[in-house]
């Protein structure tokens, strides 16, 4: 059997971090099993689905390194949904109902007031032909519900949550089609999973009750049921669901110069028993992906953890990984020198300016300025080589008696304008002889 998973976003907005995590886990599981990963665009909502969001979803997945093996669109499958819907009608597994939203809300309130679960009472099953005609005459349109089999408990073994059990009599018969004929989520999704050979459905734990209903839909069609994995939802550092997590997406990550490898490394591991580590090679993460390592506790998304992880990932990136994002003229050797000082790639231009200039040195004492005059004269008399920093500071130590911070710090400040940064032994050869002498001259002039 070929393992096949799917990611099924609605193109009614941009992907947020929870969507991204779902897509990533579906892709990783399929990749590890040598299977297939499908992008299915659930675009049945004609009013809210936009082509710009379709384009954005594809681009976001590609930026993260997630490449679907195939793509489907629900809007191209309405005839198929109609065909399978008619089969359910013929089998007596769907029925029309005419209650308004206000009437249903009143029913729920009455049931809650009596201490009962607010499930649909199936009153529509008892409607007479005359009552249906009366509703139609007053302009009401039917919405359609799927009729659950109350005699058969719903059970499955979830890959994360373990054995699951639902009594269908405690569930409402779900509305599957609106009054205007448009489709709600559950029936088209079930039909697609059957037709497209989906073997594993990986999604958030907020879909557990939907799964119970959809299992009966699979059974009503005489189809095999996929395996299910329901993940704990993401929460923020405050320990509860955050509105911000619902809007945090690829665009925000890119604005903050977060690397896609950092997002993948974090979302692959949070909520599992495996440590979050700065792993830039996604296939290493794929090989350790295992639903048995996922816990039931909410997965905590921490911005600070992401920032720290991102810094470590940047320090692992090779020149070839970032070459197209580096300033003109920056070599592999320069990248190796600057890389350990980066928090993120947004700082690269500023660090390259330290090499190419101009730089502005801080105010220095008269004593330090006199020392730098001596330093410039000493540097002019030395042969330039890869060991120039060692040779230069060694000569200055001997001639001035300075050592440690009083020796090194004025030189760093004059040459870079900063009191911190890359190792000067590696940085000075990049700055170059003429530029270094000019910067020292600027201090004394």
The binding site consists of 243
User: What are the distances in angstroms from CA 202 to CA 22, 76, 273?
Assistant: 7, 24, 18
* β-strand partners of 165: 155
Burial (CB < 10 A; 0-12, 13-18, 19+), residue 414, is buried
- Determine the Cα–Cα distance for residues 230 and 159; give it in Å rounded to an integer: 7
Side by side, the strands of the sheet bearing 4-7 are 4-7, 36-41, 70-73
The binding site for ATP consists of 243
Using alpha carbons only, how large is the chain's radius of gyration in Å? 32
Q: What beta strand segments (E) does 212-254 contain?
A: 227-231, 234-235
* β-strand partners of 6: 38
- Determine the Cα–Cα distance for residues 303 and 294; give it in Å rounded to an integer: 21
Per DSSP bridges, beta strands 143-146 and 175-177 are: antiparallel
- Determine the Cα–Cα distance for residues 310 and 255; give it in Å rounded to an integer: 13
Please confirm whether the linkage preceding 156 is cis (ω < 30° from 0). Answer: no
184-189: long-range contacts at Cβ-Cβ below 8 A with a sequence spacing of 24 or more? 185/42, 185/210, 186/146, 186/210, 186/213, 186/214, 186/217, 187/81, 187/84, 187/85, 187/146, 187/217, 188/42, 188/44, 188/74, 188/77, 188/81, 189/8, 189/42, 189/214
Whether 202 contacts 232, CB under 8 Å? no
- Determine the Cα–Cα distance for residues 348 and 325; give it in Å rounded to an integer: 9
Q: Which residue has the tokens 């489907």?
A: 72
Report which secondary-structure segment, H or E, holds 154. Answer: strand 154-158
Report which secondary-structure segment, H or E, holds 163. Answer: strand 162-166
């Amino acid at each position: 059997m070929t393992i096949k998973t799917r990611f099924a976003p609605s193109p009614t907005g941009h992907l947020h971090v929870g969507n991204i995590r779902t897509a990533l886990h579906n892709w990783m599981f399929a990749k590890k099993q040598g299977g297939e990963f499908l992008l299915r665009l659930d675009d049945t909502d004609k009013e809210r689905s936009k082509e710009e969001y379709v384009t954005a979803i594809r681009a976001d997945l590609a930026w993260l390194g997630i490449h679907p093996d195939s793509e489907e669109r629900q809007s191209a499958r309405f005839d198929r949904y109609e065909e399978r819907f008619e089969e359910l009608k013929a089998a007596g597994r769907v029925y029309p109902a005419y209650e308004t939203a206000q009437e249903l809300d009143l029913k729920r309130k009455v049931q809650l007031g009596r201490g009962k679960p607010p499930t649909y009472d199936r009153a529509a099953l008892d409607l007479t032909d005359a009552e249906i005609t009366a509703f139609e005459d007053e302009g009401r349109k039917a919405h359609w519900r799927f009729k659950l089999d109350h005699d058969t408990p719903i059970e499955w073994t979830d890959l994360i949550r373990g054995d699951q059990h639902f009594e269908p009599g405690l569930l409402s018969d779900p509305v599957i089609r609106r009054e205007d004929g448009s489709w709600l989520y559950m029936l088209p999704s079930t039909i697609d999973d059957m037709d497209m050979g989906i073997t594993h459905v990986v999604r958030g734990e907020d879909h557990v009750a939907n799964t119970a209903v959809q299992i009966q839909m699979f059974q009503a069609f005489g189809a095999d049921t996929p395996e299910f994995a329901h993940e704990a939802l993401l929460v923020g550092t405050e320990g509860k669901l955050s509105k911000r997590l619902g809007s945090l997406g690829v665009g925000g990550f890119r604005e903050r110069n977060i690397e896609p490898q950092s997002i993948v490394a974090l979302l692959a591991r949070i909520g599992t028993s495996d440590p979050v580590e700065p792993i830039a090679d996604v296939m290493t993460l794929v090989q350790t992906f295992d639903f048995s390592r996922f816990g039931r506790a909410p997965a905590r998304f921490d911005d600070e953890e992401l920032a720290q992880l991102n810094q470590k990932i940047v320090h692992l990136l090779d020149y070839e990984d970032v070459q197209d994002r580096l300033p003109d003229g920056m070599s592999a050797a320069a990248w190796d020198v600057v890389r350990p000082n980066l928090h993120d790639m947004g700082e690269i231009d500023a660090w390259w300016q330290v090499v190419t200039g101009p730089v502005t040195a801080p105010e220095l004492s008269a004593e330090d300025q006199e020392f730098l005059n001596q330093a410039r004269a000493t540097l002019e008399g030395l042969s330039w080589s890869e060991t120039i920093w060692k040779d230069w500071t060694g000569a200055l130590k001997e001639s001035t008696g300075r050592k440690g911070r009083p020796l090194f710090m004025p030189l760093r400040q004059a040459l870079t304008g900063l009191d911190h940064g890359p190792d000067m032994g590696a940085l000075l050869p990049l700055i170059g002889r003429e530029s270094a002498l000019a910067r020292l001259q600027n201090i004394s002039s």
